[in-house]
Amino acid sequence: MDGNGRWAKQRGKIRVMGHKVGVESVQEIVRTARELGIKVLTLYAFSTENWKRPAMEVQALMGLLKSYLESELANMVENNVSLRCIGQQQRIPPEVVKVLDRVIAETANNDGLILNLALSYGSRNEIIQAVQALAAECLQGKIRPEAINDQALADHLYTAGQPDPDLLIRTGGEARLSNFLLWQASYAELYFTETLWPDFRKDAFLTAIIDFQQRQRRFGRTGEQVTGAE
Ligand code: FPP
């Protein structure tokens, strides 16, 4: 969800104002995902690297997150949305974790849309944690090293049990993955747009999805194999 800071700067406002309007985009994109019947939506709200930002900005982001969760709980329940959190929850301020845990618990049985919030999330760290857990299981004799395969590793990631993403959208003109779902996005279609996150609304989301629908997903096979032309 890149581009909040620039959006604010272009309007002579402080960066936090961009994040604030960015929350409106979050609301619109979640609503649209639900309308479209999308099964899983993961929002990269705060990376492990984002802790390096000025304390005032970090504090404002945590505050926005807390108020978003408080105000959206009823909506999530009503719209069958199940909230999950991926990332290092132990680094999030306790007052935010309290609300987060409550929303996660109260929406746990919903099965319309899984909404993953990536908070204090870093993909390399997630993979290292999974590898450590597998190594420990090997040492305890629970599994043999040869039994470690794609599935075993995926089962130890925060996203265990969820399908891999089909489409990864990055706003704000950057063409990087920035430590986001590196394992899970191996075969995801990447979509980069110049649109800044606060301007990324329903129409922009639909444009990205239509672009995705026109891609041919080959997963290593030839185009002819996929279309059945051969
Ligand atoms: C990156 O843009 C954006 C973030 C680090 C924060 C994203 C947070 C929100 C949209 C609001 C809170 C989230 C939820 C789920 C309620 P940037 O600040 O790096 O923008 P820039 O590249 O223009 O500087």
Give the pLDDT of residue 219. Answer: 84
Contacting residues for 80 by C-beta, under 8 A, at least 6 apart = 34, 110, 111, 112, 113
Query: Which domains occur in the chain, in start order?
Result: 4-122+162-210 (3.40.1180.10)
**What is the rounded distance in angstroms from the CA atom of residue 140 to the CA atom of residue 44?**
35
Return the pLDDT at 24. Answer: 98
Residue-level pLDDT at 230: 57
Please tell me the total number of residues recorded for the chain in this structure: 230
CA–CA separation, 46 and 57 (whole Å): 11
pLDDT at 9: 98
Taking the centre of ligand 1 as the mean of its atom positions, its distance from the CA of residue 196, in whole angstroms, is: 10
Ligand 1, residue 4: give the atom nearest the CA. 20
Residue 92 CA to ligand 1 center (angstroms) comes to: 16
Low-confidence ranges of the chain (pLDDT < 70): 230
Q: What confidence score (pLDDT) does residue 229 get?
A: 74
Active site residues: 2, 50
Q: Is the CB of 198 under 6 A from ligand 1?
A: no
